[in-house]
Structure 1
Amino acid sequence: MTHPTLNPVQLAAEITRQLGRLTEHLTQLPAAEATFVIACILDPDDGVLSGITGLVGAGSRFAKTQAEHGRLPAEVWLALGRAANELDAIGYDLDAHRATLHHISQQPTTTAGKLPAPAPLFVRRHR
């Protein structure tokens, strides 16, 4: 059975709904499963972040063409380009932690015994 083709606006609305559902599920998952889902979201090839980055990049390329023909202000193209570059940089920064998230998600959960020590919530970034 083939899926009916959604128009792009309906497709965007459906993806937005699905992201909302994923967010709801993520908040309710056990820690190991949530950690694995986050690692999947950050996958540089097939993850949600990569897909959104590609989508914003495509929007930037479209806006560039439109700006060159005077149909959009150049500021729109520049803003989309900056957003795509920032998302790409964020993905690169987070990719360094994806393997750790995946590894932690594979660890058996401890029901008894000593809990891990909490980590400080401030860390210097390395670039």
Structure 2
Amino acid sequence: MTVYDPEALARQTAQQIALLNQHLAVAPPQQAARILGQVLDPATGILGALTTLVATGARFEQDRASAGLLPPEVWLTLGRAANELHYIALDLDNHAEDIQRLTRDQQTATVPPVPSALVARRHR
């Protein structure tokens, strides 16, 4: 049986995400699209895993807040963070096809992409 140090695992995970961010910052467009596709994958991506981790933390903090060991605001803030991450993941899931399209070889496209104005829309 392998014994893990959860605090060390949390530090290593943060370091790995920082390293991934460094790679993403300098990656060519195709590789950056593939990285983002994997990060945002609803089933196996980092965003979904982080959302689940924060939700688990919120449930843990709820127990501590109920016992009077923490202010209820701690639990409520973690719960709100978990909900926000969940809604962000749902919003991104609506665009999964677009993100996947980026991962395909752009050289095979017969029509070059057309730039568009960036418009922020929030759906909930």
Same fold (TM over 0.5): yes
Structure 1 stretch 63-72 or stretch 27-36: which is displaced more? 27-36
Q: 1:80: how far off?
A: 0.4
Question: Unpaired segments of 5 or more residues in structure 2?
Answer: none
Cα distance 1:64–1:100, how it changes in 2: closer, same or farther (>3 A)? same
1:121 is the counterpart of 2:102: no
Size of the aligned set, in residue pairs, is: 123
2:61–2:70 contact (8 Å) kept in structure 1: yes
| Letter of the structure 2 residue corresponding to residue 16 of structure 1 | A
1:32–1:109 contact (8 Å) kept in structure 2: no
- TM-score, scaled to structure 2: 0.88
2:65–2:72 contact (8 Å) kept in structure 1: yes
- TM-score, scaled to structure 1: 0.86
Q: 1:115: how far off?
A: 4.9
2:37–2:100 contact (8 Å) kept in structure 1: yes
- The match for 1:50 is 48
C-alpha RMSD of the superposition: 2.0
- The match for 1:75 is 73
